[in-house]
Amino acid sequence: MELLELLAENAPSDRFEEPVRRARDTDPDPARIARLERAKLLALQVHEVISLHHRRQIGLSALVDTARELTLPYDLDGLLNVIARRARFLLNLDMAWVSIHDSEGGHSVVRAAEGHISMLSVGMRVPTSGGLGNMVTARAAPVWTADYLNDQRIPQAEVTHNAVRAEGLRALIAVPLRKESTILGVLYAAQRQVRRFTPDEITLMSSLGDLAAVAIEKTRLLDRAQHELSELSLHASRAEDSSTSARRLNSAHTRLVDLVLRGGDLHTLADAVGELLDGTLLVRDPSGTNLTADTLPGLDETEIRRAAMEAHSGHLPVEASGGTWVCPVTAGEELLGTLVFVPEQPLDERQFQLLPLVTQVTAVSILLQRSTSLAEGQARSDVFHDLLNGGQLSAKQLDDHARRLSVDLGRPHVLVVARPEGGPPGRAAFWASSYAHQRAGIKSVEGDEIVLLLPGADAAAAGRAVAAELSSALGRPATVGSAGPVAHAKDLSDAYREAQRCVDALIALGSVGGTASTRELGFLGLLLSDQPNAAVFIADVIGPVLDYDAQQGTELTRTLEAYFAHGSSPTRAADTLHVHPNTVARRLERITELLGDGWQDSKQLLEVQLALRLHRIRHTVTARGAGPAVRR
């Protein structure tokens, strides 16, 4: 009965010896002592069975708790730490760690560790040969040892062996983390004393390994699903951003196109683009002339030209120094101009995507302006044509035509005729429209010639400017003649013919692509002029000498006449003038100072001689005309 009570109390095994010991002291009957010994042995067996069942219940309860904990959401590293901690406490061991196979690297890596650890740290690489873990992987089954360092059955791996020795570990058990036929890694547990693992402990560890493998695979799948979900969300966000950006770009593009179709010019378009992109836009023609505004201060024109060449060759926007963007404006293979955009801040992706759309709209605007200029300018060209060929019109009709063109001929104007070499006339006409508009002038296309009426008094300078810009814009030479200034509508036709003659003269002289006015052509210009003005020619050629004689009372003009009369001989001229040859030499030096070093070159020498003769003739005619008045 006492033994049953001890069993009911779940007393320790050593207490089962007490009833037998008392019986030996008090009862001399050997048979009864033998029965009591037999009862004790049976009671101990029952006690062991009860203890084993109790341990199993505890283990299963811990395993159920572990399974419940493993179902919680963890990232992979967090889950592996839970597995290591549970393995350690499940068997009440000193240490536990988890290594995961790296299929790409060909080794295992310790991903979690629990217990007092110094060598077996997270991140340690476990080689693929030797050691307890590789035996587990090869067998796909648990492997255990009561004394690792003295167990000859286990092939030694230097890294593992050194770590186990450094940690002072003796008993080790390792179970596979198996998902179907795939070994994901190995779960280790260890004791610093020799210990024999029971079948129940091995079974518990194996079950924990199976649960851990399922949890690891679930976590990996969850991580993969979350990653894919994140990527999908990112793609969706990007798609939404792209859609929003596309809508914004389409809206901006539509706004700019509507602006152009409603009649907005390049100035209006540049202002709208500047507002959209937060910056300043310049539109330039192929020659680099600004069509919308004066150039911005601080622009490095050398860098802009370099970027423009790169942009036109690559047909893409190019960033110049300082964040300035240069974009080509083209229609097919035809170069229409260049955009120069100076942003307030660096361009973002949306603004950069808008730049090509801006160039397209600018190209449309330029082409529309070209077409409109050609259409609307036809009426003005007809009126200008009548002024240029106004021989049959009265002075009043000519003035009425000038007023219809809004030309104030009370101010001096010059007339320029440009004759481009080859190529379609459309580009030249478009350039002329823009050039005349910028300078408050008028243009007309007369056959293969561009005719410009421009405010100003210097015909030569106007001709040179037109020649330079037109040749650059077209990429081919243009021969330019100029005349004027004119101050009356009736003088336009004469100036037009003079400018045409200058062009014809340049071409006849082999100076295609050159420029000249009647005054620049010298005596040839005097001959070409409808209204020859000898006084102007004389003043242009020898005016400084005449003025010097008048102011100083010298005889430089008379000296020149004697010099030429005697074949450019200073000695013979001195005899005629009754002066010393040195005096003639000094006078010639003074003339060189007044007319320049090249006055004795063949071309200028002829003009000087002609001017002297005209001056002498004018002086003689004037003197004769004044004779009768003197006699009266």
State the average pLDDT over residues 359-369: 80
Of the listed ranges 434-438, 477-481, 538-542, 617-621, the least confidently predicted one is: 617-621
Position 60 scores a pLDDT of 57
User: Per-residue confidence at 263, pLDDT binned at 50, 70, 90?
Assistant: confident
Residue of 601 and 469 predicted with greater confidence: 469
Of the listed ranges 153-162, 338-347, 623-632, the least confidently predicted one is: 623-632
User: Per-residue confidence at 621, pLDDT binned at 50, 70, 90?
Assistant: very low
N-terminal to C-terminal alpha carbon distance within the chain: 185
State the average pLDDT over residues 398-411: 61
Q: Which two tokens stand for residue 367?
A: 């082409």
Position 630 pLDDT exceeds 60: no
State the average pLDDT over residues 13-34: 70
pTM above 0.85, yes or no: no
Residue 519 is given by DSSP the state: T
Phi, then psi, of 471 in degrees rounded to 5? -60, -40
Cβ 540 vs Cβ 599: under 8 Å? no
Position 151 pLDDT exceeds 80: yes
Position 413 pLDDT exceeds 80: yes
User: Per-residue confidence at 509, pLDDT binned at 50, 70, 90?
Assistant: low
Residue 188: beta bridge partners? 97, 174
Report d(CA 466, CA 444) in Å as an integer. Answer: 14
Position 618 pLDDT exceeds 60: no
Cβ 82 vs Cβ 70: under 8 Å? yes
Q: b/e per residue, 99-119, with b = 16+ CB within 10 A? A: bbbeeeeeebbbbbbbbebee
State the average pLDDT over residues 121-127: 76
| 183-197, 264-278, 536-550, range with greatest mean pLDDT | 183-197
DSSP labels, 428-476: HHHHHHHHHHHTT-EEEEETTEEEEEEE-S-HHHHHHHHHHHHHHHHTS
Position 623 pLDDT exceeds 50: no
- Domain limits, the chain: 2-56, 71-222, 263-371, 389-531, 535-631
Position 631 pLDDT exceeds 60: no
Fold of 263-371: Beta-Lactamase (3.30.450)
Position 11 pLDDT exceeds 80: no
Task: Please name the residues in contact with 626: beta carbons below 8 A apart, sequence gap of 6 or more.
Answer: none
Position 624 scores a pLDDT of 39
In single-letter form, the type of residue at position 324 comes to: T
Position 15 pLDDT exceeds 50: yes
Position 626 scores a pLDDT of 43
Report d(CA 165, CA 147) in Å as an integer. Answer: 11
Tens digit of each residue's pLDDT (9 = 90 or more) over 45-73: 766 666 656 555 655 565 566 666 666 76
DSSP three-state, residue 316: coil
Report d(CA 333, CA 455) in Å as an integer. Answer: 35
Domain range 535-631, its CATH number among 1.10.3470.10, 2.40.30.170, 3.30.70.270, 1.10.10.2840: 1.10.10.2840
State the average pLDDT over residues 362-370: 77
DSSP three-state, residue 534: helix
3-state secondary structure 359-418: HHHHHHHHHHHHHHHHHHHHHHHHHHHHHHCHHHCCHHHHHHHHHHCCCCCCCCEEEEEE
| 25-29, 72-76, 476-480, 530-534, range with greatest mean pLDDT | 476-480
Report d(CA 383, CA 405) in Å as an integer. Answer: 7
Assign domain 389-531 to its CATH architecture: 2-Layer Sandwich (3.30)
**Mean pLDDT for the chain overall:** 75
Q: What burial class does residue 603 get, using C-beta atoms within 10 Å of its C-beta: 0-12 exposed, 13-18 middle, 19+ buried? A: exposed
Position 61 scores a pLDDT of 61
DSSP three-state, residue 328: strand
* Percent of the chain scoring above 90 in pLDDT: 1
In whole angstroms, how large is the CA radius of gyration of the chain?
Answer: 55
Q: Which two tokens stand for residue 179?
A: 């998902």
Report d(CA 375, CA 369) in Å as an integer. Answer: 10
State the average pLDDT over residues 628-632: 33
Q: Which two tokens stand for residue 247?
A: 């809508």
Position 382 pLDDT exceeds 70: no
Report d(CA 591, CA 545) in Å as an integer. Answer: 7
Of the listed ranges 88-92, 270-274, 314-318, 371-375, the least confidently predicted one is: 371-375
In single-letter form, the type of residue at position 419 comes to: R
Q: Which helix (H) or strand (E) holds 547?
A: helix 534-552
> Matching CATH topology for 71-222 and 263-371?
yes
Position 566 pLDDT exceeds 80: no
Q: What burial class does residue 533 get, using C-beta atoms within 10 Å of its C-beta: 0-12 exposed, 13-18 middle, 19+ buried? A: middle
* Domain 71-222, CATH: 3.30.450.40
User: Per-residue confidence at 632, pLDDT binned at 50, 70, 90?
Assistant: very low
Task: Please name the residues in contact with 443: beta carbons below 8 A apart, sequence gap of 6 or more.
Answer: 377, 381, 384, 429, 432, 433, 435, 436, 450, 451, 452, 453
Residue of 293 and 210 predicted with greater confidence: 210
